[in-house]
Amino acid sequence: MDWMEETLERRTHPQGLWDEAKAIIVLGVNYGPEMDPLAALERPEIGAISTYARRRDYHDVLKGRLKLLAGWIAAQDVGEGAGFKVFIDTAPVMEKPLAQQAGLGWQGKHTNLVSRGFGSWLFLGSIFTNLDWPADPSESDHCGACRACLDICPTQAFDGPYRLDARRCVSYLTIEHKGAIPPALRVGIGNRIFGCDDCLAVCPWNKFAQKAREAKLAERGDLAALPLERLAALDDAGFRALFATTPIKRVGHKRFLRNVLIAIGNSGRADLAPSARARLDDDDPIVRGAAVWALAKLLDDDAFALLRQARAASESDAGVKAEWEG
């Protein structure tokens, strides 16, 4: 199995998720980027998409690979009654601490796993088994005095080393958060429209990182520099067609538009104002509110005041009214 050449396999003990489990096989699959993940931040007219999302959804790829590996183990002479359960973000499995116990790497100050061989770029999955299996030695922390990941965070989401306030994290805000993004955090998002790689990308251990070799996890070049103008104009069908096989599809069209409009507001590009104005009539108040905020950032005071006078009175949503009022 060529794919296993870059897959780290380790074992550690279960913690009660499956009563019959006696061991956990924790695996990390490399998704090292082909280019500098921070380069897109220098181009405010495009949408910056996290490295992991510019490819096929890893859940789909890894689940099949883990089942293949479990089948291969079962095919060996391991005795009758061998059982396996595969988990990839599908159960309350604490994959990062388990991976550290299993020796794949350690949880860095940014709370993500860091590997001496692959840097910050590992997808994690686990196989719970009822087979007896010796445990591997755990990995120790090698962050030292470095705090590069803490200092680069655009929204100051770290309370301190190893302490992340997810409510301020750009990845949380652009992917998991369902409502309007808090105004105080919008500028820090910049042109990031899905996730954030900053704390991962600056880790010094990435000097040992390797480009991903798994063909099914190859980066899609067309997602590296998508113009915000094009993204703001996508309808639901266009959104689904463009991102059908990627993790981006999970946020849905409306939340994605919210993110794009925040990026447009942060772009400083007056030529993108028409893209935001076109969304003032969107049926979703979260989208309309983000469009108002973007226009407030891009238009001069007089132009925005005229627009507010013409549009604000007809708005029925309290949240969007608050955006008009600033």
Judge if 124 and 154 occupy the same domain. no
| Per-residue pLDDT at 91 | 79
Judge if 111 and 161 occupy the same domain. no
Judge if 109 and 258 occupy the same domain. no
For residues 214 and 60, the answer to whether their CB atoms sit within 8 Å is: no
Judge if 99 and 154 occupy the same domain. no
| Per-residue pLDDT at 77 | 67
Q: 48 lies in a domain?
A: no
Judge if 305 and 170 occupy the same domain. yes
Bridge partners for 125 per DSSP: 27
Which of 2, 36, 60, 89 is catalytic? The answer is 89
Judge if 124 and 229 occupy the same domain. no
Q: 46 lies in a domain?
A: no
Domains held by the chain: number: 2
| Per-residue pLDDT at 101 | 93
Is 89 annotated as catalytic?
Answer: yes
| Per-residue pLDDT at 304 | 97
| Per-residue pLDDT at 112 | 96
Judge if 122 and 218 occupy the same domain. no
Can you tell me the distance from the alpha carbon of 143 to that of 295, in angstroms, rounded to the nearest whole number?
42
Domain that holds residue 188: 148-317
pTM of the predicted model, to two decimals? 0.91
CA-wise closest residue to 237 among 222, 223, 252? 252
Judge if 74 and 204 occupy the same domain. no
Judge if 82 and 165 occupy the same domain. no
Q: What is the mean pLDDT of each run of 10 residues along the chain (326 residues)?
A: 36 54 89 91 98 93 90 79 84 90 96 94 92 89 97 98 97 97 98 98 92 85 95 98 96 98 98 98 98 98 97 95 95
Judge if 105 and 242 occupy the same domain. no
| Per-residue pLDDT at 75 | 85
